[in-house]
């Protein structure tokens, strides 16, 4: 078995993975209770699928009773520069590092299948592969497998890779033994907690997704509450603040996979250009990107908020252009953005807008300026 583990490590490296660890399928008996407590508090927000798949998500043996081992693999997607620098360019958008090129699911799953196929052919054991679209709690099992530990921001931290890596899992009926669980190395550090713009961490090691900018810009389907708009800044898809500030990033390096290198047009795109996207333009720009899944309307909703936060008077014209958008999500945030950049103009327009606007949420935004 030792020889097989050594060969497995070599195959994983050949397939482009940067770290690998093995946990027993029953290694995290604490997860069902932890997950249920989190769901009971409603901290998953609109992510109903978290609740619907909770039994399978918390226990690999519910997902696949025959599983004996969970092989966790990590693939580096480290950026070439500090993502926090993008937050200072107020006329431009900040897109999360992982979403600045191709959707990672396809590449990671393809590589997982290469390793899994080799393992099945070599050992005769059954295998199944999972990337994070499946109901698997990758981070706790990666911790159990020794790849890293869940930091105070609940994300996995690695002494080898810092914060920037994707996770994939191979379940197998083969008993491969287990690596030692990684210990917590956060110490007294609070950087990830203190930098969060929306205070999404009720306590260390706890996340309220409903307050997280990544959740708000990606998973939240409705209007974004006023309290979160200013803290969002120019973050239009995801947020890397708690990852980027981690001191363990001193061990991080730029991704070796070219598919994870930022496309130039997504590195720091102009808000003005993004605000002008129609559905076809959005689909073309984000073809093959994870951004595409939220759709044009939610995306431009986020862009409108960033425009309102820009402090750039010239972008008021772009907010005006969105006031008659076909999506109420966009119209509502366009009203707010105009009010931030040109409040007198918003007040002048309010009465007439209220007469013709039929959507309640958009009307509420206009009423703020009609008082």
- Catalytic residue numbers? 132
d(CA 106, CA 90): 32
Rounded to 5 degrees, what are φ and ψ at 130? -140, 135
- What torsion, rounded to 10 degrees, do the Cα atoms 86, 92, 96, 98 define? -100
Burial class of residue 232 in the structure, from the number of CB atoms within 10 Å of its CB (0-12 exposed, 13-18 middle, 19+ buried): buried
Q: Which among 226, 267, 310, 219 has a CA at the least distance from the CA of 96?
A: 267
Q: Which among 162, 251, 153, 155 has a CA at the least distance from the CA of 202?
A: 153
Q: Which among 246, 195, 232 has a CA at the least distance from the CA of 310?
A: 232
What DSSP string describes 337-352? HHHHH-HHHHHHHHHH
β-pair type (94-95, 235-237): parallel
d(CA 307, CA 288): 26
Q: Which two tokens stand for residue 175?
A: 């008993």
């Amino acid at each position: 078995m030792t020889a097989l583990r050594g060969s497995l490590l070599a195959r994983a490296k050949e397939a482009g993975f940067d770290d690998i660890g093995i946990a027993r399928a029953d290694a995290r008996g604490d997860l069902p209770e932890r997950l249920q407590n989190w769901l009971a508090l409603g901290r998953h927000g609109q992510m109903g699928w978290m609740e619907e798949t909770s039994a399978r998500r918390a226990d690999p043996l519910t997902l696949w009773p025959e599983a004996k081992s969970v092989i966790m693999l990590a693939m580096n997607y480290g950026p070439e520069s500090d993502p926090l620098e993008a937050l200072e360019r107020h006329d431009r958008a900040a897109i999360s590092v992982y979403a600045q090129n191709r959707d990672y699911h396809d590449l990671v799953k393809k590589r997982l299948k290469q390793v899994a196929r080799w393992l099945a052919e070599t050992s005769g054991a059954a295998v199944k592969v999972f990337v994070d679209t499946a109901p698997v709690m990758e981070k706790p099992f990666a911790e159990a497998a020794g790849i890293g530990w869940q930091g105070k921001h609940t994300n996995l931290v690695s002494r080898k890779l810092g914060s920037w890596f994707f996770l994939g899992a191979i379940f197998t009926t083969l008993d491969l033994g287990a690596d030692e669980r990684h210990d917590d190395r956060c110490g007294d550090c609070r950087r990830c907690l203190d930098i969060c713009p929306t205070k999404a961490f009720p306590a260390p090691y706890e996340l309220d997704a409903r307050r997280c900018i990544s959740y708000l810009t990606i998973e939240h389907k409705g209007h974004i509450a006023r309290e979160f708009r200013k803290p969002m800044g120019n973050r239009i898809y995801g947020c890397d603040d708690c990852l980027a500030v981690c001191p363990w990033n001193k061990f991080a390096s730029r991704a070796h996979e070219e598919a994870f290198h930022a496309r130039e047009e997504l590195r720091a795109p102009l808000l003005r250009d993004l605000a002008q996207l129609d559905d076809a333009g959005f689909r073309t720009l984000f073809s093959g990107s994870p951004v595409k899944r939220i759709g044009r309307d939610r995306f431009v909703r986020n862009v409108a908020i960033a425009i309102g936060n820009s402090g750039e008077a010239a972008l008021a014209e772009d907010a005006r252009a969105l006031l008659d958008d076909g999506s109420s999500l966009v119209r509502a945030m366009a009203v707010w953005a105009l009010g931030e950049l040109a409040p007198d103009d918003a007040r002048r327009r309010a009465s007439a807008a209220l007469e013709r606007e039929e959507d309640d949420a958009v009307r509420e935004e206009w009423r703020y300026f009609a008082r």
